[in-house]
Amino acid sequence: MIYGFDFSHFNGDAQVTKRYPQADFVIHKISEGTSFVDSKAQARAMQWKGEKPTFWYHLIRPDKGTSSAAEAGHFVASVSSKIEPYGPFGLAIDLEAQFIPYNSKRATLDWIKDFLVKVKAAYNKPILVYMGDLYPDHWYKEIQEVGGLIWIARWGTEPKHDWVVWQQTSKFEGDNLDRDLCKLTISEMFKLTGPV
């Protein structure tokens, strides 16, 4: 098992500088919706240069009425311009229950799957999918069928659904920081971040 951290612009540079050396892998926000780009992402991509397995995530917002094609296009364009020039990278999406409730309709799952298919058409890589542990069982199965690798948030006890990455805490050692456990080896993680 290996350990990593997931970051965004909410994590200050001092905190990232402190924790990055302790990580086997990192996951960082790059985009959200159809217009937001994380203000810290490009500088960190330039600094890290993919020296560790490094994933960049998009916070999906189907609740805003945007199309999966528009969001996938924004994610791909953000990665292409801000991340790709600076070294190997992996991809992830953030599926937050506050925007995608556990009782979401079938159409929402279809939106998510279509988003994943469109991103994979641009970058043929598996995509980590961050989600809670309380969606209907078929959501996890169907997401995996279109190339998603499950990244589950469950603080405390181990998730009931199968996972590749498990976000174990949002308060690591007293910091406002998410720490993750991964079942893969570092070399297996590098395969997820390697060339298309």
Digit-coded pLDDT (tens) for 140-181: 999 999 999 999 999 888 999 999 999 998 767 667 788 999
User: What's the gap between Cα 163 and its chain centre?
Assistant: 13
Question: To which H or E segment does residue 114 belong?
Answer: helix 106-122
Instruction: Kindly give the pairing relationship between strand 127-131 and strand 90-94.
Output: parallel
Q: What is the pTM of this model?
A: 0.95
Is the pLDDT confidence value at 100 over 90? Answer: yes
Digit-coded pLDDT (tens) for 6-30: 988 888 888 888 889 999 999 999 9
In whole angstroms, how far apart are CA 56 and each of 8, 48, 106?
Answer: 10, 12, 27
